Amino acid sequence: MSKPRITFLSDSEIEAIHDASLRVLQKTGIKVMSETALDILKKAGARVDYQTGHVTIPRGLVEEALEMAPRTITYGARNPEHDFLLNKQKAHFCVSGMPPFVSDMETGKRRSSTKEDLASFSIVADYLGNVDVIWPAVVTTEVPPPMQCLTEFITVAINSTKHLEHEALNARDAQYQIEIAAAIVGGREVLKRRPIISAVACTISPLTYDKGITEGAIEYARAGIPVAIMPMPTVGGTGPATVAGTMVVNNAEFLGGLVIQEFASPGAPVVYSAGPGTMDFKTGANIRTPERSLMHLGLSQVARYYGLPSEIGITGGTDAKILDAQAGYERVMTILTHLLTVPDIALGLGGLNRALLMSLEALVIDNEIIDYALRFIEGIEVNEETLAVDIIDKVGPGGVFLGEKHTVQHFREVWVPRLSDISSYETWEKRGSKTIDEVAREKVREILATHRVTPLSEDVEREIGRILKRAEAELV
């Protein structure tokens, strides 16, 4: 079967990015704020200055880390039917996450997000067929900051049976998340074999590693939890003013994080991630431009060069503040082009305003766009059956194929939208002349009214309650 795929970098260009990244790590080095990580790097053979946190990493250490990293990773879920494998063969999709604002369904206005909003996003994502991973969609702004991370984690775990991806701002956050996930699946060894959670660990561009996030990532590594190391340099800001130079910063930051993870726990599951951006040089605002997508697509190729699982974002994002035409065309362009490189995980569903604002209606619409895009990248199957020469000969000039058995056997292969209106103008008018955002809003209300998420067992809920009380006593 002919499947459409795109590449932007030649083999020699990918190797040049890799070599440049190694030169940066060996000569320029990185800044690491965690003494735990500095100890790991020192023991591995890196050159470490404890006073400044400056580390230079020899080429050989990076190559060792790349050898240790698994090439495939299983992502489990509370419902095993939602388990999947990261093996560079199929794209999976993740809800965008962590802005403090939502688009209110009743008013259409932006407001601060709450735990209730997060529960709604989790239920809708649990229902949608093209969502595989749920990153907490919004911040629980009403919860005290020390408990936000854990509250968000638990809220998603209760309101969805799919794979849960979050982050930890420190080692204790990670430890509590691991303890809760282990309680859900029946122990730490079970969790290690079939992790129902994963984590994102963001670096600080350029070339800096936060103490808390780094130590949280180390905890995950030692528990066998997959970690997506996500640099987010911006062209001309926290990266060079050239696209290639910013890609080098992204790649070097990933490789530095990979070395920490693999020497903290050899064989730790690590996912290649990339979130480079571009900015408006007049205002400093992070914006979506063709260069942004080119960097994501190019770094997706770099991940394949390393043979590592990949999580590339932001696929469904838009600069639009509401669900208008701009939101539509930007979402389609980014989702479709990103899928043509087939990342293991495509991140960014449901976001507006540069992922600073989440919309339930946008999440439902993204699910429809993905449905179309997945059919597109399937390509065209060419064989004797599909060429249909005998059927063409049977029907002949001026004939109709509608009543043929061949048509009955194959008509369902043609993609049909679930949300978009394909009726006549007159029928559309009779149905209320609804816009796509109104249709999506109705669908969200239907999902929230009818979709029932399988509850956790009473024993697990009690255990989570006990863990939460301990965390509140310690953290708050």
- 315: confidence class by pLDDT, cuts 50, 70, 90: low
Query: Is residue 245 scored above 70 in pLDDT?
Result: yes
Task: Give pLDDT, residue 106.
Answer: 92
Residue range 136-151, pLDDT digits in tens: 999 999 999 999 999 9
Average pLDDT (47-76) is 98
Task: Give pLDDT, residue 476.
Answer: 85
Task: Give pLDDT, residue 473.
Answer: 95
Residue range 77-93, pLDDT digits in tens: 999 999 999 999 999 99
Residues 6+ apart with CB under 8 A from 77: 83, 161, 162, 163, 196
Query: Is residue 62 scored above 60 in pLDDT?
Result: yes
For the ranges 92-101, 172-181, 456-465, the lowest mean pLDDT is seen at: 92-101
Query: Is residue 184 scored above 80 in pLDDT?
Result: yes
Compute the Cα dihedral for 172, 177, 183, 186 and give only its sign: negative
What is the percentage of the chain residues whose pLDDT exceeds 90? 88
Task: Give pLDDT, residue 284.
Answer: 81
On the 0-12 / 13-18 / 19+ scale of CB atoms within 10 A, 244 is: middle
The answer as to CATH 3.20.20.480 being correct for domain 66-378 is: yes
- 444: confidence class by pLDDT, cuts 50, 70, 90: very high
Compute the Cα dihedral for 436, 438, 443, 444 and give only its sign: positive
Give dist(CA 122, CA 134) in Å, integer: 7
Query: Is residue 296 scored above 80 in pLDDT?
Result: yes
Residue range 261-279, pLDDT digits in tens: 999 999 999 999 999 999 8
Query: Is residue 437 scored above 70 in pLDDT?
Result: yes
189-195, long-range: CB < 8 A, 24+ apart: 191/223, 191/224, 191/225, 192/223, 192/224, 193/224, 194/74, 194/76, 194/80, 194/83, 195/74, 195/75, 195/76, 195/224, 195/225, 195/226, 195/269
Task: Give pLDDT, residue 5.
Answer: 80
Average pLDDT (424-437) is 96
Output the CA angle 223-229-231, nearest 5 degrees.
160
Q: How far is CA 476 from CA 70, 87, 169, 469, in A?
A: 38, 41, 15, 10
Task: Give pLDDT, residue 427.
Answer: 96
**What is the domain partition of the chain in residue ranges?**
66-378, 384-413
Give dist(CA 335, CA 323) in Å, integer: 16
Query: Is residue 395 scored above 90 in pLDDT?
Result: yes
Query: Is residue 316 scored above 60 in pLDDT?
Result: no
Contact 241, 220 (CB under 8 A): no
Could you tell me the end-to-end alpha-carbon distance of the chain, in angstroms, rounded to an integer? 57
- 212: confidence class by pLDDT, cuts 50, 70, 90: very high
Task: Give pLDDT, residue 133.
Answer: 98
Pull the structure tokens for residue 433.
Answer: 């002349």
Average pLDDT (279-300) is 87
Mean predicted lDDT score pLDDT of the chain: 95
Task: Give pLDDT, residue 2.
Answer: 66
Query: Is residue 132 scored above 70 in pLDDT?
Result: yes
